[in-house]
Amino acid sequence: MSVLDSIIEGVREDLALSRVSMAQISEAIDAIPPARDPLATLLKNEMSIIAEVKRSSPSKGVLAKIDDPAGLGEKYSLAGATIISVLTEQRRFGGSLADLDAVRARVDTPILRKDFMIDEYQFFQARAHGADLVLLIVAALGANQLNDYHQLSLELGMRVIVEVHTNDELERALEISPQIVGINSRNLKTLEVDPSVFAELIPRLPHSIVRVAESGICSRADVESAQKYGATAILVGEALVKAGDPAIAMRELLGLDRLI
């Protein structure tokens, strides 16, 4: 069993224990404001940052304690994050929907529910908890699921980041006409990081698509390298949660510290 398969198995088990009725979910969706749409900003910016509330990972273990996810989200928002990504997977990443709720209550910045979305219920659940975007990992989904979940997300008012790691996955992603594609340099089946994935895949994306470089972004040089190949956004977790001051770390990644 690959790492990805193991994570998905855990997600299914946890989901079976946490479901509430669709009537409750629908009531919650009706009560929340419309989703915030970051697409125009992502398309306009030369480089955007998706800043992540992330306690741990399967590859690195515990990264940061994060007792106050809302406070961290607020720091990201004030520092100019275009999107705040909140991990909600519990077993491997130490996240929860409570983290998403806390951050949503504190900031107006669009929020990505970062999880392994493998069940239709999760998309209604994400919107009910105030998510503005969701992640679709091509490696975790069949062709029909990818298309159906993409359409469902849009119908619920949420934007979608479609994540790929290989040429084959990119071909599958392009078939559903995505507006935001994440190129993950980490192979979720083995957890190995290969920066050459950015060079191979990002240039294949049309410029009309937001191109997000994911994983292995730790320094300004990493950002410049991804940008050289055409990335217009970066998703960063570890480098920010481990930094003494996440706002300063964000400025350094974006090269804004050089303007001071």
Q: Which residues are catalytic?
A: 52, 54, 114, 163, 184, 214-215
Please report, as a single letter, which amino acid is at residue 51.
A
Residues 62, 55: contact at Cβ < 8 Å?
Answer: yes
CA R_g for the chain: 17
Q: Which of 172, 165, 117 is nearest to 144 (CA)?
A: 172
Question: In sequence order, which residues have a C-beta less than 8 Å from that of residue 93 and are 6 or more positions away?
Answer: 54, 55, 56, 57, 58, 87
Q: How far apart are CA 252 and CA 219, in angstroms?
A: 8
β-strand pairing of 61-62 with 56-57? antiparallel
C-alpha distances in Å from residue 6, one per residue of 2, 57, 90, 129: 6, 14, 13, 26
d(CA 109, CA 236): 16
Question: How far apart are the C-alpha atoms of 239 and 163, rounded to whole Å?
Answer: 20
